Amino acid sequence: MSIRIKLLLSYTGMLVISLLVFVLTASLFTIAATGDIHGIRDFYKVHYQINPLTEEEESIFLELKYLAKNEPDELQNKELLSEYDFKLRTVRAGLYVRRDNDQIFESNTMNQPELEANLPPYDLNNHQIRNTLNIGERFYAYAKYDFRYSDGARGSVYVIRERSPFGEVTRKLLPILVLSLVGIVVVANVLLYRWITRSVVKPLDLLRKSAEHIKEGNLQFSLDLHSKDEIGQLNETFENMRKRLHESIQLRLQDEENRKELISNISHDLRTPITNIKGYIEGIRDGVADTPEKMDKYVNIIYTKTTDLDKLVNELFLYSKLDLKQVPFMFEHVDIIGFIDDCIDEQRYVLEEKGIRLEWKERTGQSVEVIADLEKLKRTVLNIIENAQKFMDKQDKTICVSTQLSPEWVTVEIRDNGMGIEPEAIPYIFERFYRAEPSRNSSTGGSGLGLAIASQIIEGHGGTIWVESEPGIGTSLYFTLKRATKEAV
Ligand code: ADP
């Protein structure tokens, strides 16, 4: 059974129960008040007819009734009647006595000229002692007793009390009021039912449809439900789950794409030197290298190509291990100044041979400790210096190394006055296999992995690496390393 049907049944059930309870209460009340159950319709009439007067008025009326029965002529005694009237006035009622067609006594509190004309005719059997009457807009409740004076003339004694018109209106409109109350209960139930279905069933329906979308593999939608209740929270969790799922699928697709690209790049990069080596070996086999000089040249080329291939495979291996986080970092306290000194000493001779001047803005005597994996850091610096010399196009070739210190970080800058990098290539140079302008790079024989490896290493150190470059002027490669504090490592 759906929630909607369950709600409908429970609300209808509640409605029926409340109406039954309403009817039952009214019936019980009627029985308790009248001792009879001729119908709820009669309840208010009976109640009013039985109790038109208050208890005090009623007791005065009973005294008057007793007089009428036993000493009727006393009800012509104006003095006595005035006394009774006084008593009645204190409880806000009035007295009226008539004899045949004459009025014997009328309370001056009544102030109702039409009263006499509206009183009921004589009924010596006194069938209806208590009743109500309307005169114009005013409404009266009374108790009366008809009797005969000793001379046989008919007489009536009335104890009359003016009632609030509101009470009368209520009495007249009671059926309508009861119907309106029942109507209010029904309408309230219908509205509550609609409200609950809207706030519960509808969002659940939306949630079900969304789950179906996900089942069909469609994750590009969003659930915009703003309610803050439990269903709202459920929707929020569901929406978060959808986002996560969407992200992870996107990531998987991206990974897949990267994997394909990697395989294609590797095959391409391996094929070129292998094709070259194969070509030269075929040349030797076919006797093209027919002189010892030619043979020497061919063998040298094959050797260089094999070395390149070896370097490429090693770089690839390192990169993939770094990427898979399979290379452990052996962190230790390293004096970065001493470390750069060593690197510079190592490279100076090779670079000077190529006509490149290596400047090192050393901070003499100052030792600055960082936390680093020495071997990997060296790899980074060498990769950057290698690039700086590879892309050098000036006559006066300079590579300048410097450091900047902050309380927490050391920034190392390696600046060259080479060809620079076009601004549009800058965001990609740390990506694997990326070479800005491949034609320009073909002579350099780079794998496109040098900066990708450097970036992996620096990130592994918790630092950052970035580049600033001006085409035609030069390039600065920066990386940061965390300074060692006493507690660290
Ligand atoms: P490669 O093996 O091609 O040098 P890298 O990842 O080390 O690969 O560098 C990526 C690309 O960034 C290079 O191909 C080159 O186009 C550009 N590049 C890197 N360093 C420099 C530099 N110092 N001057 C000019 N271009 C550079």
Lowest model confidence (mean pLDDT) among 19-33, 148-162, 183-197: 19-33
- Quote the pLDDT of residue 245: 92
Ligand 1: centre distance to CA 380 (Å): 13
Distances (CA, A) of 353 to 132, 347, 348, 388: 131, 10, 9, 15
Ligand 1: centre distance to CA 422 (Å): 11
462: left (phi over 0), alpha (psi -120 to 50) or beta: left
> Per-residue pLDDT tens for 317-366?
998 889 888 889 999 999 999 999 999 999 989 999 999 999 987 756 67
Confidence category of residue 62, pLDDT binned at 50, 70, 90: very high
Check whether 187 has a pLDDT greater than 80.
Answer: yes
Check whether 96 has a pLDDT greater than 70.
Answer: yes
DSSP line for 163-226: E-HHHHHHHHHHHHHHHHHHHHHHHHHHHHHHHHIIIIIHHHHHHHHHHHHHHTT---------
Q: Identify which has the larger pLDDT, 233 or 45.
A: 233
For residues 250-277, give the mean pLDDT. Answer: 87
**Cβ 107 vs Cβ 161: under 8 Å:** no
- Report the nearest-CA residue for atom 14 of ligand 1: 435
- Quote the pLDDT of residue 37: 53
- Report the nearest-CA residue for atom 11 of ligand 1: 435
Domains 230-322 and 328-482 share a fold: no
Q: Identify which has the larger pLDDT, 339 or 23.
A: 339
For residues 76-96, give the mean pLDDT. Answer: 89
**CB-based burial label for 392 (10 Å; 0-12, 13-18, 19+):** buried
Ligand 1: centre distance to CA 362 (Å): 26
Which ligand 1 atom is at minimum distance from the Cα of 418? 24
> Per-residue pLDDT tens for 400-413?
999 999 999 999 99
Confidence category of residue 311, pLDDT binned at 50, 70, 90: confident
Cα separation, 170 vs 176, in Å, equals: 9
Counting Cα atoms < 13 Å in the Cβ hemisphere of 90 gives 7
Cα separation, 326 vs 337, in Å, equals: 29
- Quote the pLDDT of residue 9: 86
Ligand 1: centre distance to CA 66 (Å): 128
**Cβ 139 vs Cβ 100: under 8 Å:** no
- Quote the pLDDT of residue 43: 47
CATH of 230-322 among 1.10.10.10, 1.10.287.130, 2.40.50.140, 1.25.40.10: 1.10.287.130
pLDDT averaged over the chain?
Answer: 86
Q: 407-420 burial, b for 16+ CB within 10 Å, e for fewer?
A: eeebbbbbbbbbbb
What percentage of the chain has pLDDT greater than the value 70?
91
Task: Locate 37 and state its tokens.
Answer: 């159950």
Out of 315, 379, 391, 399, mutate this one to test ligand 1's pocket (max ligand atoms within 8 Å of CB): namely: 391
- Quote the pLDDT of residue 159: 92
- Quote the pLDDT of residue 438: 59
Distances (CA, A) of 155 to 90, 126, 471: 25, 12, 130
Q: Identify which has the larger pLDDT, 155 or 443.
A: 155
**Cβ 474 vs Cβ 359: under 8 Å:** no
CATH of 36-163 among 3.30.310, 3.30.70, 1.25.40, 3.30.450: 3.30.450
- Quote the pLDDT of residue 33: 67
- Quote the pLDDT of residue 58: 85
Confidence category of residue 175, pLDDT binned at 50, 70, 90: confident
> Per-residue pLDDT tens for 214-253?
889 888 888 776 777 788 888 888 889 999 999 999 999 9
For residues 425-446, give the mean pLDDT. Answer: 73
Which ligand 1 atom is at minimum distance from the Cα of 451? 6
Residues in the chain: 489
- Report the nearest-CA residue for atom 23 of ligand 1: 388
Which ligand 1 atom is at minimum distance from the Cα of 416? 23
Q: Identify which has the larger pLDDT, 122 or 265.
A: 122
For residues 121-145, give the mean pLDDT. Answer: 87
CATH superfamily of 328-482: Histidine kinase-like ATPase, C-terminal domain (3.30.565.10)
Cα separation, 363 vs 245, in Å, equals: 52
- Report the nearest-CA residue for atom 19 of ligand 1: 387
Q: How far is CA 154 from the centre of its chain?
A: 86
Which ligand 1 atom is at minimum distance from the Cα of 453? 6
Lowest model confidence (mean pLDDT) among 38-47, 324-333, 367-376: 38-47
Distances (CA, A) of 163 to 53, 54, 90, 97, 166: 10, 11, 16, 20, 8
Ligand 1: centre distance to CA 451 (Å): 7
- Quote the pLDDT of residue 46: 46
The binding-site residues of ligand 1, defined as CB within 6 angstroms of any ligand atom, are 387-388, 391, 416, 418-421, 429, 434-436, 441, 446-452, 475
Task: Locate 199 and state its tokens.
Answer: 């706030």
Where exactly are the structural domains of the chain? 36-163, 230-322, 328-482
For residues 121-150, give the mean pLDDT. Answer: 88
Cα separation, 437 vs 455, in Å, equals: 20
Confidence category of residue 443, pLDDT binned at 50, 70, 90: low
What percentage of the chain has pLDDT greater than the value 90?
44
Ligand 1: centre distance to CA 456 (Å): 15
